[in-house]
Structure 1
Amino acid sequence: MTEPAPMRDVTAGVKAFLRQAELRDTLTALTGHGLHEVIVADDSGIGPEREALYAELREVLPLRVIELPYDSGASAGRNAVARACITPYLLMLDDDLIVPDNLAAMRRAVDASRELGGVSCIWREHGRLSSCAANLYRVGRRLYKDIGRGPACVPRPDGKRLPVYDIVEQSVLFRTETFDDVLWDEHFTIMREHVDFFLQHKALGRWRFAVVPEVVMRHEKTPKTAGSDYAALRYGRERKRAADDHFRAKWDLHGVVEGRWQHAHERPVKRALNHAALLAHLRLGRTQPIGMPAGSLDGAQVDAVGG
């Protein structure tokens, strides 16, 4: 294990839903890192098998479980973890991520600059490295999620530089004070909550987010066919449509355009064309500032911005 001491002021938070084997692997990998606490927000409906898992893992982890109403969603779970955290740093994870031995490198990196609200890492999915790190650009009523002309950087104490983006992977070591500014919009049960969260930060302009390239976290992505309940609730068309509709209405957008280096469903050629189109818009000065959407302080957003 690599230098666990730097993690004693860090809480790990895990949003859990149904996947028993994946959750076991995620929590087991957190042992030995010297974390202050591990908080799980679980909206699975905790039955005897789940209780047994938590009882077993309490023997090796400082584990606290928050039971939420069934299918409360990703945003509600992450907000519950953020509100429960009492340490200055929170590592927010999903229940299909396996942290590596050099996790403490993220803790050291977040202090590279006071403007960093958090740092993420690179993912390994099915044996391949991937990242959703990108910048966010508004062109008319489209949001480009693309590297653009390339990332800015901040220096690190070891002489290396951290690439900085508007959006990074959902495996972030946050300064918990960032949650005074932004939480997750609970209108999103699943899908679009991630880009919405970072788009709010982009609009507020108070925090930046970086990637620590030497930290590679395994993402045990669950197949869309795995488990009828899980697949229907997490990948269902109605869920995706509802998330897209709320996101577009909230930000007055037609949709999101994925760029060349994004790990996305669109084909590589189409993403490359999208990237070329964005560079043309940038050269011609056609991007617009991103402001907080009207009505963002209503309903579930009251606690999410300056609440």
Structure 2
Amino acid sequence: MANSISTSDITFCIKTIHRPWSCHRLVQSLREHIGDPKINVVDDGKPELRFSLKYPESAAACQVIHPADFDVGVSIGRNIAVDAVETPFVFMLDDDHVVTSNLNLDRVCKRFAANPIDILGVRQGSGGRPTMLSKLMNGKRIWVHRGETRRNGYVAWCDMSSNAFLARTETIRELRWEGELKTLEHWEFFYRAKLAELNVAVAGDCFIRHEHVESKDYRVLRHRSKFRAIGLRKHGFHSMRMPGGGVVNV
């Protein structure tokens, strides 16, 4: 457990592609509510659709990294962002998140420091509740469902949080995202965290706003179901049961 965590100890990491306005909105919300935040942005989009081209003033407040290749994927992009961090802690964000006063970052930091936690997620409005990853059908199906293993006030320990979370930089550098998965990487990242016996929790009274921004260029890249199949096969699963009860097969 950390003694204390301040804003200067944290770098906010954002992976973005083909949603420059969304990334700009997030960066501006960070600067409004955090003060002078350290921000790493990895943009692997086409040059004409880059965040730094569309919003140079916002980009100037960040360390913006453009991978040599187009569409390296969210996993590699996040790994690049974390590898460039120079602070002991990292706060991961999606580019369609928006920071408000309801994030309560000071509270997040205090909760992290006071408890045995490796990854502390925050809520996304009505989403981002504590989630479990359980095996079904003799270990051949992974079940994504709400649940928690224990609780201390508003902090609930579980297997998976939202994509908005605080963690030690060295923890995430060691865990990393699976580079083969350009999208649909979320459950696989947290499943490996479970296998590594990391302590994952959710702060139920701390919130990020999730405001999806539609983009044709982004949608084509995001909706590639083959990456879910790759992730499932990697861990020996033939299907996934979703929180609503639906089943996705390899």
Normalising by structure 1, we get a TM-score of: 0.71
Residue in structure 2 matched with residue 51 of structure 1 by the alignment: 52
SS in 2 for 1:198: helix
Percent of matched pairs sharing the same residue: 24
**Distance in 1 separating the partners of 2:232 and 2:121:** 26
1:30-179 alignment runs, 5 A limit: 30-32=30-32, 33-34=34-35, 37-47=38-48, 50-57=51-58, 61=61, 63-68=62-67, 69-101=69-101, 102-113=104-115, 115-124=116-125, 129-139=126-136, 140=138, 141-148=140-147, 150-153=148-151, 155=152, 160-179=153-172
Residue 179 of structure 2 aligns with which residue?
186
Aligned to 1:198: 190
Equivalences, count: 237
Structure 1 residues 183-227: Cα deviation after superposition (integer angstroms, max 9, x where no partner): 000110111x1111111111111x2111112212110123xxx43
Q: Which amino acid aligns with 1:82?
A: V
- Measured on the aligned residues, the alpha-carbon RMSD in Å equals 2.2
Q: Look up the match of 1:231.
A: 219
Structure-2 change in CA distance of 1:186 and 1:48 (3 Å): closer
Q: Which runs of 4+ in 1 moved over 4 A?
A: none
How far residue 6 of structure 1 moved from its aligned partner, in angstroms, is 2.5
CA apart distance, 1:58: 5.0
SS at match of 1:71: coil
User: 1:176 Cα shift?
Assistant: 1.1
For structure 1, the residue ranges without an aligned partner over 5 or more in a row are 260-265, 275-307
- Alpha carbons of structure 1 residues 143 and 49: separation in structure 2 relative to 1, 3 Å: closer
Q: Return the alpha-carbon distance in structure 1 between the equivalents of residues 93 and 20 of structure 2.
A: 15
2:229 to 224, 238, 245: 245
Change (3 A) 1:209 1:48: closer
Q: CA deviation at 1:132?
A: 5.0
- Superposition deviation, residue 13 in structure 1: 0.5
The 8 Å contact of residues 26 and 96 in structure 2, kept in 1 or not, is answered as yes
**Separation in 1, partners of 2:173, 2:146:** 28
Q: Return the index of the structure with the highest Cα Rg.
A: 1
AA at the equivalent of 1:112: A
- What amino acid sits opposite 2:219 in the alignment? A
Q: Which residue of 2 aligns with 1:13?
A: 13
Contact 2:15 2:94 (8 Å CA) reproduced: yes
Unpaired runs of 5+ residues, structure 2, are none
TM-score of the aligned structures, taking structure 2 as reference length: 0.86
- Report SS of the residue matched to 2:190: helix
